[in-house]
A and B are shown apart, each in its own frame.
Chain A
Amino acid sequence: MNIITWTWIIVGASFALYIGIAFWAKAKTTGEFYVAAKQVHPVLNGMATGADWMSAASFISMAGLISFLGRDGAMYLMGWTGGYVLLAMLLAPYLRKYGKYTVPMFVGERYYSQTARVVAVICAIFVSFTYVAGQMRGVGVVFSRFLEVPINTGVLIGMAIVFFYAVLGGMKGITYTQVAQYCVLITAYLIPAIFISIMLTGNPIPQFGYGSHLNENGMQLLNTSGGYLLDKLNEIQIELGFSAYTGRGSKSMIDVFMITFALMVGTAGLPHIIIRFFTTPTIKGARASAGWALLFIAILYTTAPAVASFARLNMIHTLNNKSYSEAPSWFKNWEKTGLLAWKDKNNDGKIQYAKGNAFNGKIAFESGAVGPYGEKVVKTPMNEKSANEIYIDNDIMVLANPEIAKLPAWVVALVAAGGLAAALSTAAGLLLVIASAFSHDLIKNVIAPNISEKVELISARIAAGGAVIVAGYFGIHPPGFVAQVVAFAFGLAASSFFPVIIMGIFWKKTTKEGAILGMLSGIVFTAAYIIYFKFVSPEMNKAENWLWGISPEGIGTIGMLINFAVTYIVSKFTKEPPQAVQDMVASLRYPRALK
């Protein structure tokens, strides 16, 4: 059977499973819709959180990013896992004790203020929409490459599936589908990694494999002498003019530090992650659940750097100095999608890979034009300064890895199903945040407080449905800034929610004035910095113009510090919170109600 048949079978089976779960876990009350009636076992919640968290970016893009960045790429590995330590110790148990449905609701009640709540609702909706657009796009890309349907049709199919279980099942449906999706995505990630690890080093555990010696088979495949795999990779990198793979890359230490910190704190401030901890039956369970979540995430995150180095070795070996006419079929397939491009700069008919960008700017093709070797003709001006002839999108590294390594067709199909599971599970979690922010925080608490539970449940379903449609729209017409706004989502979560929630729990005397001004100053600073460098004057976006050498991706860390400082100082000079609020804060700190 060929790849496409396998893909239809495996993707179809996984979708059937998700729909089946949706029917089984239909939500009947608002409690089930918002927090799965707080009946989710900590281990299952850990798995669901893992799938919720690991998005199209983690599954499809991360290993590719790392394989181009070398050691600097570890900022994503540390940044996207370290936040769970903060969640387990500083947020999850206390918010679970609070026990209500949404993050804005906590902010509103703790800071005895509708204004604070509305600011929080706006942040939550903005962060979630930013994120969800990328997921829908990921679904479209997987469909178009593996099932050869247009990207837009892929987005529509993805929308239909999410619509089904998010609208019908709410948090309950989402949770159990996410458990299934975790199983699909982790299997899809591990199997190719294990195969390739055995092929190159004989070690079946990829986490150890990339620190091992190449074996006979590996030496033959890569046409090289023996030695440690990473040493070989370093040699090849230096030969091609790159810096050593395991050494420091092009980013400054302060920037790597700040980006890592912003990602960690941003993770701990993302509403769709925080609300997962509202679903466990106990506070003990909420703490344990954070540990399980990180364990399940770490299984993928410790495999990613192995995949990154295998993929880089294989990719360079398969392509560099090979004639285009003999290039493997996956190369031409990806060329069709526009995620890969080649221009024969030195007219030798061979593909050369080297340091630097092959082209200046975004890749575009002359429509229908074919070059002397049958390649698509690139319209984008080439970069004369670099001998590099190929453009390779980060996303290809994971998706094409099994094909590059010539693994069987069903493995390639499994990777497609895994990418879809990662994107859909994250999309569903985000859609729920949007739905509950609308129906619970806006309609139930601000616009129409007297509606019955039944009406609220209907409005939650309508909000979820509406959010799916908006997300799908962004997936089909991606705003050009999707990639840029991811920095925005993390920066915003880091500079708004995180400090305010932490201060709210750990310092009883934090006042509403402090919190509101803190949130606003954190957001305004971070947003202004990002907007200036990403949208207003992108040509200024260089290390020498940055504040203390901190890139827009890392500026959320400074925004967070500003938020903490403003909240503290303003709280010192304003009237203490009412006694009832201080008592509420005290009660959060103890798992059982105090006598």
Chain B
Amino acid sequence: MEEKYQAYWKQNLTYIVVLLSIWFAVSYLCGIILADSLDSIKIFGFPLGFWFANQGSEVIFVILIAIYVKLMNALDTKYDVHEQ
């Protein structure tokens, strides 16, 4: 039993690390650190770095939470720790 629970927790931590890396990349990398160089690329009227900082990060944040919710709901069921 103990092992099963540990595997569940480890998988949860893996999800968190992967998703938070994306969280960091879109906001801090694309929106701040690399923003100046990304600005030379333009999508419609938006310089890309400016767009990531203004809207892209926020939209991707919402998607990240949605993915986490989906993954965890599946994981809860798989390890049979979901609420009844």
Query: Do B64 and A210 have beta carbons less than 8 Å apart?
Result: no
A144 at the interface (CB under 8 A from B): no
Measured between beta carbons, the chain B residues less than 8 angstroms from A84 are 61, 65
A234, closest chain B residue (CB): B47
Question: What interface size band does chain A fall in?
Answer: 35 or more
**Contact bitstring B1-39, A, C-beta under 8 A = 1, else 0:** 100010011001001100110010001100111011001
- Identify 9 residue pairs between A and B in the complex whose beta-carbon atoms are under 8 Å apart, listed by A's number: A71-B35, A75-B32, A81-B57, A84-B65, A85-B19, A89-B65, A90-B16, A230-B47, A595-B1
Most buried by A among B50, B51, B64: B50
Residues of A within 8 A of B5 (CB): 589-590, 594
Alpha-carbon gap, A423 to B51, bound state (A): 29
Chain A residues within CB distance 8 Å of chain B: 71, 74-75, 77-78, 81-82, 84-86, 88-90, 93, 207-208, 210-213, 228-231, 246-248, 253, 256-257, 260-261, 282-284, 287-288, 290-291, 294-295, 298, 301-302, 305, 589-592, 594-595
Closest residue of chain A to B33 (Cβ to Cβ) is A253
From B50, which residue of chain A is reached at the shortest CB distance? A246
Residue of B nearest to A506 (CB): B13
Partner of A294 from B28, B51, B65 at Cβ < 8 Å:
B65
- List 14 extra interface pairs beyond A230-B50, A284-B76, A290-B65, CB under 8 A: A71-B49, A74-B31, A74-B53, A78-B27, A89-B65, A228-B45, A246-B39, A246-B50, A247-B39, A260-B28, A261-B28, A284-B72, A291-B65, A589-B12
Contacts of B65 in A (CB 8 A): 84-85, 88-89, 287, 290-291, 294
6 closest cross-chain pairs (CB), A and B: A228-B45, A74-B53, A291-B65, A211-B45, A305-B54, A246-B50
Known contacts A246-B50, A282-B83; A302/B58 CB under 8 A: yes
The number of residue pairs between A and B whose CB atoms lie closer than 8 Å in the complex comes to 135
Closest to B49 in A: A71
**Which residue of chain A has the shortest Cβ distance to B27 in the bound complex?**
A78
B window 33-84: CB within 8 A of A: 33, 35-36, 39, 43-47, 49-51, 53-55, 57-59, 61-62, 64-66, 68-69, 72-73, 76, 81-84
Interface of A is mostly: helix
Cα–Cα, bound, A302→B61 (Å)? 12
B83 and A85 contacting across the interface, CB-CB below 8 Å: no
Q: With both chains docked as a complex, state the minimum distance between the C-beta of B45 and any C-beta of chain A, in angstroms.
A: 3
Q: Is the CB of A287 within 8 A of B69?
A: yes
- B51 pairs with A211, CB closer than 8 A: yes
How many Å lie between the Cα of A230 and that of B15 in the bound state? 38
Q: Is the CB of A78 within 8 A of B53?
A: yes
Q: A85-B20, A211-B51, A284-B82 are in contact. Are A253 and B45 (CB under 8 A)?
A: no
Q: Given A88-B68, A287-B72, A592-B83, A211 and B59 touching (CB < 8 A)? A: no
- Bound: A86/B57 CA distance, A: 14
A212–B46 Cα distance when bound, in Å, is: 8
Chain B positions within 8 Å of A247 at CB level: 36, 39, 50
Which residues of the partner chain A approach B46 to less than 8 Å between Cβ atoms? 211, 230, 246
Chain A neighbourhood of B19, CB < 8 A: 85, 89
